[in-house]
Amino acid sequence: MEVYGCIDVDSEYAKSIGFTSDKFDGWLWRKEGETRIMVSFIKSTDPGKGNLSRLFDAVHAQGLAVAVPTPLGKMQAILTRKGFSKAREFCEDYGESVEVWTLEPPKEPVTP
C-alpha cells in the first residue's frame, strides 16, 4: 500500500503498521517518492511496552527506512540504542538544515 503525506493515527495505513490510538498520539509523514517514513511527532500512550520497536519493525518489513528529525531526550537515547545514524539534511519547509536520524531496513526481512 503506497501512502504519501500525513499518516494520521488510526488511518487505514497506520493500522496496518500498528500506529493506533491505543498505543500512540501524533502523526507520521511520507513524501512522495521517498523510501522512508518520517516520525514527525509521536508520543507513546504506554511507554516501555515495545510499541515503538514494533512500529519500526513494521515499517522496515515494508522495505522502508525510519527517520526522526531532531529527536530530543528520551527519543534520542532510544535511537542511539537502536543504531540510528544521524546526518544533517536541508529541509525545504523550514529553509534550513536539520538533524535527521535514520535507520535503514535490515537486509533480511523483519516479521513485526
111 within domain boundaries: no
Give me the pLDDT at residue 109, please: 57
Give me the pLDDT at residue 21, please: 97
Instruction: Count structural domains, the chain.
Output: 1
51 within domain boundaries: yes
108 within domain boundaries: no
H helix runs in the chain, sequence order: 12-16, 51-61, 73-82
Q: SS3 of 73, please?
A: helix
pTM of the complete model: 0.89
43 within domain boundaries: yes
Give me the pLDDT at residue 110, please: 57
Give me the pLDDT at residue 1, please: 65
Q: Count, in order, helices (H) and strands (E) of the chain.
A: 3, 6
CATH number at 85 reads 3.40.630
pLDDT along the chain (112 residues), means of 10: 88 95 95 92 91 96 94 92 94 85 83 60
109 within domain boundaries: no
Give me the pLDDT at residue 79, please: 95
> Dihedral of CA 88/60/77/94: which sign?
positive
Which residues form the domain of 97? 5-103
